[in-house]
Amino acid sequence: MLKGIPKILSPELLKALCEMGHSDRLCIADGNFPAESMGKNAIVIRMDGHGIPEILDAILSVFPLDTYVEKPAVLMQLMDRDVGKVQTPIWDTYAEIVAKHDARGKDAIGNIDRFDFYEEAKKCYLIIATSEGAIYANVMLQKGVIA
């Protein structure tokens, strides 16, 4: 046990986060995301039973977002056929969490096309597979530096 470390951050996850360097990326994936096939070249850590908001908040308490890029947190954009039909209230939750840990708040969050998101996820150092049930809930984070 360590003081000040959120209990949801397992030793395995803390090790992976520590190993990451500036500009390395991680993906926190929802329950529908193909984490194992996307993560063939990444470390894949399963966090079944947990949702993304609690994981995101814990990670951002120890993980600096990159200040050298405009949008160090990236969400999967809605597909055209889902625009106006699918609601993404979890994105508002993410904005609140990011604002708690990064002065840029929601301005640190961007969106990219679903298939571009998949391609970028294949390049991530770490993919965290969760049981998150919200759709379009995947989030990718780019690590910054601690000055």
- Secondary structure (DSSP) of the chain: --TTS-TTS-HHHHHHHHH--TT-EEEEE-TTS-HHHHTTTSEEEEETT--HHHHHHHHHTT-PBPSSSS-SEEEEPPPGGGTTT---HHHHHHHHHHHHH-TTGGGGEEEE-HHHHHHHHTT-SEEEEE---STT--EEEEB----
Q: What is the pLDDT of residue 89?
A: 97
The predicted-structure confidence for 55-109, as pLDDT tens digits, reads as follows 999 999 999 999 999 999 999 999 999 999 999 999 999 999 999 999 999 999 9
Q: Say if residue 126's pLDDT is above 80.
A: yes
Per-residue confidence (pLDDT) for residue 64, from 0 to 100? 97
Instruction: Give the other-Cβ count within 10 Å of 141's Cβ.
Output: 26
57 has catalytic annotation: no
15 assigned to some structural domain: no
For residue 69, the domain's CATH number is 3.40.1650.10
Domain span at residue 49? 23-142
- Number of structural domains the chain divides into: 1
Residue 124 within any structural domain of the chain: yes
Q: pLDDT class for 19, splitting at 50, 70, 90?
A: very high
Is 66 among the residues known to form the active site?
yes
| 2 lies in some domain | no
Whether 102 sits among the annotated catalytic residues: the reply is no
Distance, CA of 145 to CA of 127 (rounded, Å):
20
* Assigned domain for 11 exists: no
- Indicate whether 12 belongs to any domain: no
Averaged pLDDT for residues 40-56: 97
Catalytic residue of the set 22, 68, 92, 116: 22
